[in-house]
Structure 1
Amino acid sequence: MVKTIAVLDESELQDGQMKEVDFDSGKVLLSRLGDRIQATSAWCTHYGAPLSKGVLVADGRVVCPWHGACFNVCTGDIEDAPALAAIHSFKTHVADGKIHVSAHPENTLKDNMRRYPGLLNEDTSFKKGLIIVGGGAGAFFAVDSLREYGYKLPITILSKEPHAPIDRTKLSKALITDPTGITLRTPADLKIKYGTTLRLGVEVTSIDPKKKTVTIDNADTLTYEKLILAPGGIPRRLPIEGADLENVFTLRGVEDAKKIDAAAQEGKRAVVIGSSFISMELVVAFGKRKLASIDVIGMEEFPFEAVLGKEVGGGQKKYHESQGIKFHMQTKVEKIVPKEDNPKLAGGVVVNGTTIPADFVIMGVGVRPATDFLKGSGIEIEQDGSVRVDEYLRVRTGADTENIYAIGDIATYPAPAGVEKRIEHWDVAGNHGRAAGKHICGKTVPFGTVPIFWSAQGGQLRYCGSSSKIDDVIVQGDPSQNKFIAFHVENGSVVAVSSMQNDPIVTKSSQLLKVGLMPTPEELRAGKDVMSIDISTKDALKNVTS
């Protein structure tokens, strides 16, 4: 039963403000945009963060303080991943100087904050619909977006993995080995709530854009109306001796996590090749397991240097060294040598003529786009293995480019300032999927979401934006204490921001980058505070062209 409750004096909610207020035994989020007062669920549907601690933008977006999920406060609809479902939107009115909210009390509880897209009752199973190649985050968020914006035809996901789409970020952060604990939606949910068929353990071996067909395992052929290519990436292995030994692991899926979990037991010695995010997240996970030793080998001077710069990377190196991690930086691996008593297993990694003993080895040296199946299709594959797409994520070359989209790890897409990028972020894949789904449904809005990612490094490291080559980094705080803000500068402008223990600075910065109000490096050095910049009212944005 719907209840109407007075929740707050109108005078206590100013233009551009948000407040979390009590409603029966639950909570609602109030947002004021000019003379309009909106009420929604109070928590993010990703990890349950309180949206009142996030950022409100004058165009009606509220951005989660933790991971950048974004909702429309007027409708509750998802604007950006990694939101896993829309939030509830409630009616409001003002009477006798008080804000009244009308809602079903159950929908104001934290465990009932999700709102699923509605489905048509008509039978469309006989019609040709949409096929998604790949069963990761991009696929799930594409499905969610398609249904949210009214796509009426059948959707089929073709996945090589034996399970439904998962939160892949948790594999490296926590070495999760049971996919049911990190599944975004079960096959039953996808079928019943999203009208989507999930075919697991199948490999797409070719596509024919002229005939609009997809071939599975060189045998079964399916037809499509629209096609989304979201196969993800394949972990790289260094072309060195010993790279294929049985206990040399890469990490991409649940089966990889199971192998690493079995090897990373108390008293064992780990050698990690690569010092960027996947590698260092595993290092943190290993640190909780009482391993005998953890050695990290990196080509740069500091971990994370290419993305975060020397000062932040140097601070992180000091922190991890304080946790017992040993670094071998500015060096290359010569070879991996087998154990004397078992030539199938790695026993050490040779760098600079010295052998570092190992009971297992992690090779975290990046991924390549999984586009081998596109050879011969007429879709041009770039030198790095990616596929170039336009601002709507449609492939740019080959036959039938109007009906084929490429997203996630395989997509080189146009970013601001005319730069083309390929970004291997879980969140970017999700937002690519949402953007492709929106465009297929007739919403012709170019992709313009600012990339956001996060990493467990003894604390939550958050990052927004992207850079090709960092010229300078303005650091506030102490990275070695896992408490800092860093503004990453390229060609005289701030293009990215990272932080630890300073929420919601990255969320706010992502929106400043989006609307073009990020301060200059000179303003930041002079003490300008990004949190003081108002983007929550129309007056604040009226002179901005984004």
Structure 2
Amino acid sequence: MATHTVELPASDVPDGHMKEVDFGADDQKVLVSRIGDKVYATSAFCTHYGAPLVKGVLAANGRVTCPWHSACFDVKTGDIEDGPGRDAIHCFRVVLSDDKSKITVTAPIEKTKKANKERLPFLRSKYSPTAPAEADGKGVVIVGGGAGGLSVAESLREHGYAGPVTLISKENNTPIDRTKLSKSLLDDPSKLEWRPASVLKDTFGLNLRLGTEVTAVDTASKTVTLNGGEKVGYEKLVLAPGAWPSRLPIPGTDLENVFTLRNVDDTKKMQGLKGKGKNIVVIGSSFISMELVAVVMKNEPASLHVIGMETVPFERVLGKEIGGALLKFFENNGVTFHMSEKTTKINGTNQAESVELGNGTVLKADFVVMGVGVRPATQFLQGNAAFTLERDGGIVVDKDLYVKGHSDVFAIGDIAHYPQAPSENVRRVEHWNVATDHGRAVGATIAGTEKPYGRVPIFWSALGQQLRYCGIGTSFDDVIIQGKPEELKFLAYYVSGDKVVAVASMQNDPVVMKCAELLRHEIMPSPAELKEGKDPMSIDISSSHAPLKF
């Protein structure tokens, strides 16, 4: 195979920095990273959505964080450190000259080209099964086919687990990128799935049980019961059923054109929302609700109304000023808000015709969407003496995500009340990335490589511009805002006491991803320092003076 070599001055890549290097024709790129006297070369783009990693954040341990959605890779090995990246990145030969003046990168041309345009097979040569996937059901059983469940399966194989793995999902399709549903209303699973069934079966060796529901768990016999009565045995059980949308306890929520959004079946029913001239009412000003609004407002609806309980959208998470700026953006795009208001009734016989508010207002409705939160999908565990469900239906786990009182059962994602570092306060976080990284941690643990979950929660949302958010700021008592929220270009630091606990941004990548690492290392600037002008991007986490805390 033909190779290509590029030489560059070592001064082009100082310690703790990265440089994207042109590598031949066809816009081929290589990322060169330097940590002390060690230099590394990898493919240049994130395997999640193709973001340029050179614009991300490099830490002293070789961890590079994608600037868009926080996928993390190890530049020394190419391995995935954290989701949402699903595949490793390529590594290439690189040499720092003896006099440390020159860096030389050599790589196969075709491999370099593919690294920028195709996914690298995730497993490399680590998975060598010794038992068929469909053995007698023993091995690992995963309940749930969402981000968490898929991540468990992938992590098991990445870390060398060779036993049977059974993934049981209520959905009829293989695991999908659920974040795209509200951002696009796509209804074709083939355009959303992370991996086709053939790859999950043949490459990962999974026993896929799609369109199948778990109705009971017996921890004494170590079996799960399926909706047809079949019992499946396990050695390790991972509960990752996710959550299901709530519906308000008001008349009319069961009418045919009243929708909630969770899966592809829902988006198939909701395609009428894309039509012009429709009267659409959205109940709830949640992130999923407002992402849907951002999609449908482009289609010239006759009317588009949003009913919210807060004074502005996202007030509890983003605060009044940022929420108010987003409200104004949507208003300028034809959306009418009814904030601090209750929905009392949905009128109609078979189809919803109108929505009534607490103040007596009646809104005409061809379609109604409810985005009023979700609940843990743990109905199959209710009344089971082996499990203690919290008031919200969730399950308490320890730092390794074991269910309390069990040595062979884990719970992850939307159902898990887990200790969030560094405070170790137990909380349940409904972020897609949290479920992904919970799954990766559990897969590694079961495979024999202990990897306690320890990451700052991160999410993103499409709201006219891409919103990035890290941390947990729901109890903030002050907000430090830089930039112009009215132009959807800002940084917002959420303060509790004398600490920054969360950061949000629009059009300021990769500041949030850098702040996530600073929070993780416990070296985030104080509120006073931020007010005095200290820039988080100026803080060095690429040297040994910034040890990893969690």
Q: TM-score, normalised by structure 1?
A: 0.96
Structural mapping, 1:62-81, within 5 Å = 62-81=64-83
- The equivalent residue for 1:27 is 29
- 1:120 Cα shift? 0.4
How many Å separate the matches in 2 of 1:292 and 1:173?
Answer: 21
- The equivalent residue for 1:315 is 325
Residue type matched to 1:66 in 2? W
- 1:123 Cα shift? 4.0
State whether residues 124 and 153 of structure 1, in contact with CA within 8 Å, keep that contact through their aligned partners in structure 2: yes
User: Match for 1:403 among 383, 408, 411?
Assistant: 408
Structural mapping, 1:414-425, within 5 Å = 414-416=419-421, 417-425=423-431
Report whether the alignment pairs 1:116 with 2:118: no
Residue type matched to 2:333 in 1? Q
- 1:413 Cα shift? 0.5
C-alpha offsets along residues 410-432 of structure 1, whole Å, 9 cap, x if unaligned? 11100121311111111111111
- The equivalent residue for 1:386 is 394
C-alpha offsets along residues 8-37 of structure 1, whole Å, 9 cap, x if unaligned? 222322110101112234221111111111
Question: Does the residue aligned with 2:151 lie in a helix, a strand or coil?
Answer: helix
- 1:5 Cα shift? 1.5
How many Å separate the matches in 2 of 1:263 and 1:531?
Answer: 42
C-alpha offsets along residues 89-124 of structure 1, whole Å, 9 cap, x if unaligned? 223223474322233322322113524113205444
How many Å separate the matches in 2 of 1:66 and 1:43?
Answer: 11
State whether residues 157 and 199 of structure 1, in contact with CA within 8 Å, keep that contact through their aligned partners in structure 2: yes
User: Match for 1:506 among 496, 507, 512?
Assistant: 512
- The equivalent residue for 2:140 is 130
User: Match for 2:361 among 347, 354, 359?
Assistant: 354
- The equivalent residue for 2:495 is 489
Moved over 3 A (4+): 121-127
Report whether the alignment pairs 1:210 with 2:220: yes
Question: Does the residue aligned with 2:215 lie in a helix, a strand or coil?
Answer: strand
Unmatched segments (≥5 aa) in structure 1: none
Residues matched between the structures, number: 537
Question: Does the residue aligned with 1:84 lie in a helix, a strand or coil?
Answer: coil
Report whether the alignment pairs 1:454 with 2:460: yes
How many Å separate the matches in 1 of 2:373 and 2:388?
Answer: 22
State whether residues 273 and 362 of structure 1, in contact with CA within 8 Å, keep that contact through their aligned partners in structure 2: yes
How many Å separate the matches in 2 of 1:350 and 1:470?
Answer: 33
- 1:369 Cα shift? 0.3
Question: Does the residue aligned with 1:538 lie in a helix, a strand or coil?
Answer: coil
- 1:336 Cα shift? 1.1
Change (3 A) 1:150 1:520: same
- The equivalent residue for 2:184 is 174
User: Match for 1:100 among 101, 104, 119?
Assistant: 104
State whether residues 86 and 122 of structure 2, in contact with CA within 8 Å, keep that contact through their aligned partners in structure 1: no
How many Å separate the matches in 1 of 2:94 and 2:476?
Answer: 47
- 1:198 Cα shift? 1.2
C-alpha offsets along residues 217-276 of structure 1, whole Å, 9 cap, x if unaligned? 151111111111111111100000111111111000111111111244110011101011
Question: Does the residue aligned with 1:240 lie in a helix, a strand or coil?
Answer: coil
State whether residues 176 and 193 of structure 2, in contact with CA within 8 Å, keep that contact through their aligned partners in structure 1: yes
Residue type matched to 1:216 in 2? L
- The equivalent residue for 2:49 is 47
Change (3 A) 1:139 1:425: same
Report whether the alignment pairs 1:200 with 2:210: yes
- The equivalent residue for 1:374 is 381
Question: Does the residue aligned with 2:203 lie in a helix, a strand or coil?
Answer: helix
Question: Does the residue aligned with 1:405 lie in a helix, a strand or coil?
Answer: strand
How many Å separate the matches in 1 of 2:447 and 2:176?
Answer: 25
- Greater alpha carbon shift after TM alignment, 119-128 vs 108-117: 119-128
How many Å separate the matches in 2 of 1:468 and 1:319?
Answer: 23
Change (3 A) 1:192 1:106: farther
How many Å separate the matches in 2 of 1:153 and 1:43?
Answer: 32
State whether residues 38 and 96 of structure 2, in contact with CA within 8 Å, keep that contact through their aligned partners in structure 1: no
- The equivalent residue for 2:247 is 237
State whether residues 92 and 106 of structure 2, in contact with CA within 8 Å, keep that contact through their aligned partners in structure 1: yes
State whether residues 185 and 267 of structure 2, in contact with CA within 8 Å, keep that contact through their aligned partners in structure 1: yes
How many Å separate the matches in 1 of 2:498 and 2:287?
Answer: 26
How many Å separate the matches in 1 of 2:186 and 2:425?
Answer: 36
Unmatched segments (≥5 aa) in structure 2: none
- 1:41 Cα shift? 1.1
State whether residues 4 and 24 of structure 2, in contact with CA within 8 Å, keep that contact through their aligned partners in structure 1: no
- 1:377 Cα shift? 5.3
Query: RMSD of the TM alignment (CA)?
Result: 1.5
State whether residues 442 and 451 of structure 2, in contact with CA within 8 Å, keep that contact through their aligned partners in structure 1: no
State whether residues 47 and 88 of structure 2, in contact with CA within 8 Å, keep that contact through their aligned partners in structure 1: yes
State whether residues 129 and 163 of structure 2, in contact with CA within 8 Å, keep that contact through their aligned partners in structure 1: no
Residue type matched to 1:98 in 2? K
